[in-house]
């Protein structure tokens, strides 16, 4: 479910922090200043409007010459035209500044986000992060395009309006100020109270919808457990609750409308009544009363509007805090590699030396303890062991997604963290268990291994990966779109695309996470054959789930509960009576 937007208290430090985001708007500050000027002018023009209308009424009332009436009429027309022109320019300028600023902010946020270390992503849910960022940025968009302008406009209207009123009649102004703002504030508070109810109804309806969604998605389980009536009951309770809250909210809503009629119309009547008294006493003119009422309406509207703006500013501050939190996270030391730096920089010798590790999110659980092994360049090494033994963690450390808590990882005899991270990762390729294909074409998916590769190289890689044959069979060949709106590839085909990607990358160290789900034997043969070709002449580390594929490995590392418990070739390990490997392999072949 979407989270409600975060609201931050409006405080000086909060505002000062949020102003850091202003950096992104800095290049457009002159444009912004012009926008502000337009705002001032359009607000000023709107203040002139009631005064002129009042003059018009006065002139008419006093039976003044048509000439005089025409003059005021023309001035009004000019004010109207200017106001609409200023507003048009103000909106255009603000929107243009906002769009440019937000584009830069979006780019900066994304480019920071994608360079954050794995640790950051392991601790957060990606979907949440995604919706968080997009909603935070749209809050800021609101802030820059409308909220700020509205806020300034309303402040100008309230202060300017009151000043103008006081000049006309301070007696009536005091009377009006004693009533109108109070009613407006009450209306806002009451309105918020009611909104809380409607939010509650929405939440309850959403909960009942979740029941529908979950049970329909999991209809197999509902039916298999014969829980239809249990679910009907659950749904009935939730919908009845929502209805009860809705009915209660309705009662308050009715009261709110009555209050508005009584309060606002009452206030208006009171001001006009007082104004009429003053007029009778000869204190003010009819036109002045007319413009007085218009100004009071403007002021009342602006006071109510400020409450909404206050909430929007809180949200914008909350959104800035969220974004700044991401911007403040330290990023990985990575950078784009020029083609010259893509050439092999290592031979592929890997040594783990007393490596211990815990995940930063769960520091109490030792995932690897004193793990040591040596892999010579060109070796094929299999990592085996029960689920949760730490196989994937070894690979994550090798990729330097995390650093060991103690011990050292050496690549070609040099500490892994003494290498440039981008250069090191560029020497490695991963063929994962669940191959992730992007929604683009097959060509784009293969070229992910080396975005600079040309057509020839891509085809060569596809051939090496035994993928060319099936790709050729698609009418659009390499340009076939995969994923959601394109062709769905089979598990074996996806794996071969991933292998082609790795071929194209031409790494010194290859990491394979063997698929757990079995492919059919033909597909399995093609994948295995492609992998064999890929592994030639490189150091490869295979997380092996099916022991039948590790027989030919130069070394098998058996992990259990974070320790390397056995190491050796298949024959050596099979020779160990009571050994874990022997046990596992016997278990697998008998099932």
Ligand X SMILES: Nc1ncnc2c1ncn2[C@@H]1O[C@H](COP(=O)(O)OP(=O)(O)OP(=O)(O)O)[C@@H](O)[C@H]1O
Question: What is the contact surface with ligand X in residues (CB under 6 A)?
Answer: 122, 359, 361-362, 367, 385, 387-393
Q: Is the dihedral of CA 221, 223, 224, 226 positive or negative?
A: positive
Residue 323: CB minimum distance to ligand X, A: 25
Structure tokens at 177: 């100020």
Q: Toward ligand X, which CB reaches closer, 169 or 393? A: 393
Q: Is 552 exposed, middle or buried (0-12, 13-18, 19+ CB in 10 A)?
A: exposed
Within 10 angstroms of residue 122's Cβ, the number of other Cβ atoms is 14
Cβ 348 to ligand X shortest distance, Å: 22
Min. distance of Cβ 355 from ligand X in angstroms? 13
Q: Residue 387 or residue 590: which is nearer to ligand X going by CB?
A: 387
Instruction: Work out how close the CB of 561 gets to ligand X at its nearest, in angstroms, rounded to a whole number.
Output: 9
Angle at 68 between CA 62 and CA 72, to 5 degrees: 105
Q: Which residue in 250, 238, 154 sits closest to 198, CA to CA?
A: 250
Nearer to ligand X, 122 or 584 (CB): 122
- Pick between residue 141 and residue 358 the one whose CB is nearest to ligand X: 358
Q: What DSSP letter does each residue of 292-347 carry, written as one string?
A: HHHHHHHHHHHHHHHHHHHHHHHHHHHHHHHHHHHHHSPPPS--PPPGGGGS----
Nearer to ligand X, 5 or 404 (CB): 404
Looking at 515-572, which runs of residues are DSSP E strands? 539-543, 555-560, 563-568
Closer by beta carbon to ligand X, 162 or else 565: 565
Least distance to ligand X, CB of residue 121, Å: 9
- What DSSP designation does 366 have? -
Q: By C-beta, is 263 or 390 nearer to ligand X? A: 390
What is the residue-wise DSSP string for 453-474? Answer: --HHHHHHHHHHTT-HHHHHHS
For ligand X, give the closer residue by CB, 304 or 393.
393
The distance of closest approach from Cβ of residue 402 to ligand X in the complex, given in angstroms and rounded to an integer, is 9
**Smallest separation, CB 367 to ligand X (Å):** 4
Write down the least CB distance from residue 547 to ligand X, Å.
13
- Choose between 431 and 458: whose C-beta lies nearer to ligand X: 431
Q: Tell me the C-alpha distance between 11 and 321, whole Å.
A: 12
Kindly state the tokens that stand for 369.
Answer: 């303890």
Closest approach of Cβ 552 to ligand X, in Å? 21
Q: Rounded to an integer, what distance in angstroms lies between the CA atom of residue 588 and that of residue 392? A: 20
Query: What does the H/E/C string look like for 478-521?
Result: HHCEECCCCECCCHHHHHHHHHHHHHHHCCCEEEEECCCCCCCH
We find the least distance from the C-beta atom of residue 87 to ligand X, in angstroms, to be: 53
Tokens at 275, concatenated: 């104004």
How near is the Cβ of 369 to ligand X at its closest, in Å? 12
- Asked if 431 and 367 count as a contact pair (C-beta separation under 8 A), the reply is no
Which of residues 13 and 387 has its CB atom nearest to ligand X in the complex? 387
End-to-end CA gap in the chain: 42
Angle, CA 410 vertex, CA 407 and CA 411 arms, to 5°: 160
- Residues whose CB falls within 8 Å of the CB of residue 102, separated by 6 or more in sequence, listed in order: 137, 140, 141, 144
Q: Toward ligand X, which CB reaches closer, 204 or 393?
A: 393
For residue 210, what are the contacts with CB-CB under 8 A and spacing of at least 6?
Answer: 1
């Amino acid at each position: 479910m979407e989270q409600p937007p975060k609201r931050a208290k409006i405080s000086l430090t909060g505002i000062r922090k949020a102003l850091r985001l202003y950096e992104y708007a800095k290049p457009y500050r002159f444009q912004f200043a012009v926008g502000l000027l337009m705002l001032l002018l359009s607000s000023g023009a709107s203040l002139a409007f009631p005064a002129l209308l009042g003059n018009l009424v006065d002139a008419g009332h006093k039976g003044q010459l048509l000439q005089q009436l025409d003059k005021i009429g023309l001035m009004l027309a000019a004010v109207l035209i200017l106001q609409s022109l200023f507003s048009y320019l103000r909106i255009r300028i603000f929107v243009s500044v906002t769009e440019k600023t937000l584009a830069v902010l979006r780019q900066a946020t994304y480019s920071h986000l994608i360079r954050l270390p794995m640790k950051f992503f392991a601790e957060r849910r990606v979907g949440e992060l995604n919706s968080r960022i997009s909603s935070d940025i749209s809050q800021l968009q609101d802030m820059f395009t409308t909220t700020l302008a509205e806020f300034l406009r309303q402040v100008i209207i309230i202060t300017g309006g009151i000043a103008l009123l006081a000049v006309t009649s301070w007696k009536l102004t005091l009377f009006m100020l004693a009533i109108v703002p109070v009613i407006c504030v009450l209306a806002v508070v009451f309105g918020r109270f009611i909104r809380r109810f409607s939010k509650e109804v929405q939440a309850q309806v959403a909960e009942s919808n979740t029941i529908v969604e979950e049970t329909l998605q999991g209809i197999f389980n509902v039916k298999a457990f014969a829980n239809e009536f249990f679910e009907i009951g659950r749904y009935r309770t939730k919908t009845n609750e929502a209805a009860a809250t809705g009915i209660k909210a309705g009662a308050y809503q009715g009261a709110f409308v009555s209050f508005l009629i009584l309060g606002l119309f009452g206030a208006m009547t009171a001001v006009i009544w007082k104004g009429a008294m003053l007029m009778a006493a000869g204190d003010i003119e009819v036109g002045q009363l007319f413009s007085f009422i218009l100004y009071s309406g403007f002021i009342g509207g602006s006071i109510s509007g400020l409450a909404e703006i206050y909430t929007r500013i809180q949200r914008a501050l909350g959104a800035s805090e969220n974004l700044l939190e991401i911007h403040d996270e330290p990023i990985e030391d990575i950078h784009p590699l020029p083609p010259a730096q893509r050439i092999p920089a290592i031979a592929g010798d890997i040594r783990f030396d007393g490596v211990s590790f815990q995940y930063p999110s769960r520091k109490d659980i030792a995932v690897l303890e004193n793990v040591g092994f040596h892999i010579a360049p060109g070796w094929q090494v299999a990592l085996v062991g029960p689920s949760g033994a730490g196989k994937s963690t070894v690979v994550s450390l090798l990729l330097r997604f995390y650093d060991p808590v103690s011990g050292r990882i050496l690549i070609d005899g040099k500490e892994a963290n003494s290498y440039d991270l981008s250069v090191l990762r560029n020497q490695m390729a991963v063929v994962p268990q669940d191959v992730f294909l992007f929604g683009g074409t097959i060509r784009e998916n293969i070229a992910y291994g080396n975005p600079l590769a040309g057509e020839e190289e891509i085809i060569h890689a596809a051939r090496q990966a035994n993928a060319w044959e099936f790709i050729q069979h698609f009418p659009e060949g390499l340009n076939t779109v995969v994923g959601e709106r394109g062709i769905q590839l089979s598990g074996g085909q996806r794996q071969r695309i991933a292998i082609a990607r790795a071929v194209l990358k031409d790494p010194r160290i290859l990491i394979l996470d063997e698929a757990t789900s079995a492919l059919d034997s033909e597909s399995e043969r093609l994948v295995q054959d492609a992998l064999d070709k890929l592994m030639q002449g490189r150091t490869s580390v295979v997380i092996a789930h099916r022991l039948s594929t590790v027989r030919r490995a130069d070394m098998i590392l058996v992990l259990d509960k974070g320790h390397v418990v056995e190491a050796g070739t298949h024959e050596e390990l099979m020779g160990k009576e009571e050994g874990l490997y022997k046990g596992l392999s016997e278990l697998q072949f008998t099932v």
